Amino acid sequence: MEQVAAKVKSLVHENSHNAYNLSAQMIQLEVVKNAVSRLMEKIDEITYKGWDKDPGMSYLSINEIRDTVRLIDMGFYPLFKEMAKEVEAINIHSEELFNTVVKGESEQSIDVATKLDINSAEGWNALAMENNIKTFTKEFGREPESFEEVLTYINETIAKVMAKKEENKKADALTSTKEIQSK
């Protein structure tokens, strides 16, 4: 039992670390995206000013574009490899968590989730994961095939709730406006 709790705690911690790394890499990816945007603006400028028709300006423009594309590639390729490794690690950890919590050890996982301190990130995440799986199972009448399937269901449910919340805000705003106008 303690081994399962330790494994869940370790996997949740590793997933958290991988997610943090991905967040940092997303910032780097934004820098690459901005470089591509500036390159597209430069290409539009070259075309707009007619430099693409002047052989001398075309030569200079192509050299500048080539250098920019090389810099983008130098930033993007290693970043892509790092992000792919992080995503692969998260997928492995998610599958291990799924197997630990759902496959064959679901009774033990309930004990693990209740024994972990829910005031800690690991305990809270384990409890949330357990409850998300239970909700999915209740909704669809079957166990999920993977934890990713559970996450997709939960994200879609949250999106629906948020959309409904926005609809209600708009309806409340219209009602409030009508009440003020009638006074």
Nearest 5°: the CA angle 90, 115, 16 is 20
**Tokens 């991905």 sit on residue:** 22
Q: What is the pLDDT of residue 48?
A: 92
Q: What is the pLDDT of residue 143?
A: 86
Extract the residue ranges of the chain whose pLDDT is less than 50: 105-106, 109, 113
Q: What is the pLDDT of residue 166?
A: 76
Task: Quick: pLDDT tens for 58-106.
Answer: 888 898 899 888 888 888 888 888 888 888 888 887 777 777 776 654 4
Instruction: Provide the whole-model pTM.
Output: 0.44
